[in-house]
Structure 1
Amino acid sequence: MAELVYRPVVGLAKTMFKVWDLKIDCQGSENIPRTGGAVLVSNHISYLDFIFNGLAALPQKRLVRFMAKESVFRHKVSGPLMRGMKHIPVDREQGETAYAHALASLRAGEIVGVFPEATISQSFTLKGFKSGAARLAQEAGVPLVPMALWGTQRLWTKGQPRNFKRSHTPVTMRVGEALEASREQYAGAITRRLRERVQELLDAAQRAYPARPRGAEDSWWLPAHLGGTAPTNEQLRAAEAH
């Protein structure tokens, strides 16, 4: 079926990346299957993550159908685009509908993109993973493809102003080897192994990242354990409780 919306949007995104002069470093795209279904699993640090995750699949000539909040599909601008690109709306009160939609897409040979942390991590470290990605892969009989990205939080993330100017910002992406998710395995064990693999890829992306904060005021995008001023998960939980 012709992709009347997805491919033009990809072309627009590539043009904008050139205008912003982003320094994109992507390794491991060959680990994304050229054919058949797969669940692409990534960390989540920016509102733009799904665009970069999708970019990593392009060398394999694959388009990714992302699971995203249902509210995005109601927006007058993003809604028609999301529907046209055949992304999957997630209503948290009716999660079984989104699950069934994603499962059907996988069985039809599509790649489905999932952020198992569910929301953007404001600490820029990995939060707990929900088991939905593992269960989808098990039931559809498809592999899980782990991925990590770094630097996208400097463009647009929760609680920070957007940076859509010509910034030369580096974005580093690492895609790992696929993990099998057999029905005989416990979904929780698969999820733990998946999170460990994404953490390894995130560590590798951070080590390879060519930029460092220019000063204390610019260290907001770096996690505390790397010397930055981003809040820790403990601090965020305490603030929410307060």
Structure 2
Amino acid sequence: MFYWFLKFIALGPLLRVVFRPRAEGLDNVPAEGAAILASNHLSYADWLFMPLVLSRRVSYVAKAEYFTGTGVKGRLQRTFFSGSGQIPIDRSGANAAEGALISAKGVLGRGELFGIFPEGTRSHDGRLYRGKTGVARLALETGVPVVPVAVIGTDTVAPPGKKFGRLARPTVRFGEPLDFSRYEGMAGDRYILRSVTDEIMYAIMRLSEQEYVDVYASRAKADAKKAARAGDDEAPREGDRKAS
């Protein structure tokens, strides 16, 4: 009930009035039954705007820390995330991917919608990065369709590294469902998993019109930080400039 309270009374109406999000391709999302909504990931606000434009509930996995806080802040945070459709998962351990998969299967097994960001983390520069194969494994093991999704403009509302940016009108674009039933029983083949994942990412790329980079986003972020630190180290200090 808290999910619908947030969506239609407490938070949703405010977001609709302030940001006026647009939705395209809503007919591509099944009116009933399970489906995976695979989206690009530009901002922490993505998980707010995508469910906002749908009449059905969408569940995601979220860091377990959001559900284990203490005190007033911890209780409020726990209530918000659990009530807004988030599922706790410990992403620090070796079994994080397996735990996420089990949680996702539970959502899909109930005939609900499960949202996933195949890139695994937010894009730091607006480009679309290589997808992780968990989305393919989930699709093949459950047999449900994958709806590619492009969320556009959320990196203006909430840019990477900032809580707030500037006012913009986000667009959520849903593509035609992808059916991978031809690969039934092949979830253990890593080449099939990569092929399915790449097909999903290609569909997202066409919807979002982002530049695609065949590198994992986490690796690209690490390389960017390393390059930035190297640049800072090479920059001349004030004393060096005076001496020269």
Which ranges in structure 2 are unaligned for 5 or more consecutive residues?
Answer: 187-191, 212-218, 230-244
Q: Could you state the TM-score of these two structures normalised by the residue count of structure 1? A: 0.77
- Name the larger-Rg structure: 2
For the residues of structure 2 that align with 1:47 and 1:200, how far apart are their CA atoms? 22
Partner of 1:230: none
Partner of 1:36: 33
Give aligned-pair identity as a percent: 32
CA, structure 1 residues 235+133, in 2 after alignment: closer, same or farther (shift >3 Å)?
Answer: closer
1:73 positional shift: 2.8
SS at match of 1:44: coil
1:74 positional shift: 3.3
Letter in 2 for 1:123: D
Partner of 1:191: 197
Partner of 1:80: 79
1:18 positional shift: 4.1
Checking the alignment, whether the CA contact within 8 Å between 2:146 and 2:177 is kept in structure 1 is yes
1:63 positional shift: 0.5
Letter in 2 for 1:174: R
Residue 101 of structure 1, aligned match among 100, 103, 109: 103
Residue 15 of structure 1, aligned match among 13, 16, 21: 13
CA, structure 1 residues 41+19, in 2 after alignment: closer, same or farther (shift >3 Å)?
Answer: same
1:179 positional shift: 0.5
Which ranges in structure 1 are unaligned for 5 or more consecutive residues?
Answer: 207-222, 224-232
Given the alignment of the two structures, is residue 171 of structure 1 paired with residue 165 of structure 2, yes or no?
Answer: no
CA, structure 1 residues 7+138, in 2 after alignment: closer, same or farther (shift >3 Å)?
Answer: same
For the residues of structure 2 that align with 1:175 and 1:45, how far apart are their CA atoms? 16
CA, structure 1 residues 155+103, in 2 after alignment: closer, same or farther (shift >3 Å)?
Answer: same
Equivalent positions of 1:121-136 (< 5 A) are 121-136=123-138
**Over 6 Å off, 4+ runs:** none
Residue 47 of structure 2, aligned match among 33, 50, 57: 50
Aligned length: 206
Once the two structures are superposed, what CA deviation does each residue of 1:161-194 show, in whole Å capped at 9, x if it has no partner?
5147xx3x22112100000122255121110000
Checking the alignment, whether the CA contact within 8 Å between 2:57 and 2:85 is kept in structure 1 is no
1:51 positional shift: 1.2
For the residues of structure 2 that align with 1:235 and 1:38, how far apart are their CA atoms? 30
Given the alignment of the two structures, is residue 69 of structure 1 paired with residue 60 of structure 2, yes or no?
Answer: no
Once the two structures are superposed, what CA deviation does each residue of 1:55-114 show, in whole Å capped at 9, x if it has no partner?
2322xxx11111222233335233222222442223221322221121121111011100
Letter in 1 for 2:124: Q
Q: Could you state the TM-score of these two structures normalised by the residue count of structure 2? A: 0.76
CA RMSD of aligned residues (A): 2.4
Partner of 1:117: 119
1:128 positional shift: 1.4
1:23 positional shift: 3.5
For the residues of structure 2 that align with 1:55 and 1:84, how far apart are their CA atoms? 14
Partner of 1:212: none
CA, structure 1 residues 187+155, in 2 after alignment: closer, same or farther (shift >3 Å)?
Answer: same
Given the alignment of the two structures, is residue 5 of structure 1 paired with residue 10 of structure 2, yes or no?
Answer: no
Letter in 1 for 2:196: I
